[in-house]
Amino acid sequence: MSAFPGWQYLVMYLVNAPLNEHDAKFLDGWHRPEGGRARFNPLNTTQPWPGATNFNSAGVKSYKTRRNGVDATVKTLKNGNYNKILRLLRRGNADFRDLADAVDASPWGTDGSVIKSVLGVK
């Protein structure tokens, strides 16, 4: 898996989702097409955070610590715009297609078909 080790499990824990390898794989599959290199920001959130700096002109942030980046990602996921993603993660082991479609339908901006391709599903 990519980014910094274990971030997926910490995100799942903090959004009250079951901890499982399946959903960690999905989160990593979401991370990969994001392609960002912002520090401690695996999903390229633009969530403001104390000490964060702008990584790019879109407002993607670089965070000071791993935990800051995870907390900012979780705060973004819980802001009310990503409820379907949260419901599916909280269900545990949801179909990758459903999860990717939920991301695609959200304001996050990641193309769900690219996530599916990364994960090897049609």
- Phi and psi at 61, nearest 5°, equal -100, 150
Q: How far apart are CA 31 and CA 8, in angstroms?
A: 10
d(CA 34, CA 15): 20
pLDDT band at 1, cuts 50/70/90? very low
Residue 2 lies inside a defined structural domain of this protein = no
Report which residue type is found at 66: R
Look at residue 104 and tell me if it is in a domain.
yes
Distance of CA 15 to the CA centre of its chain: 11
Would you say the C-alpha torsion 19, 21, 23, 27 has a positive or negative sign?
A: positive
Q: Which residues form the domain of 111?
A: 7-119
Does 44 reside within a domain? Answer: yes
pLDDT digits (tens, 9 = 90+) for 8-42: 999 999 999 999 999 999 999 999 999 778 999 99
Continuous H helices in the chain: 7-14, 21-34, 66-77, 83-91, 96-105, 112-119
Domain membership of residue 93 (yes or no) is yes
This prediction's pTM = 0.94
64-93 pLDDT, tens digit each: 999 999 999 999 999 999 999 999 999 999
Is 30 a member of any domain? Answer: yes
| Residue 91 counted as domain residue | yes
Whether residue 1 is contained in a domain is answered as no
User: How many structural domains are present in the chain?
Assistant: 1
pLDDT of residue 49: 98
CB 81 within 8 Å of CB 109: no
What does the CA dihedral 41, 85, 15, 45 come to, rounded to 10 degrees?
Answer: 20
The answer to the question of residue 67 being in a domain is yes
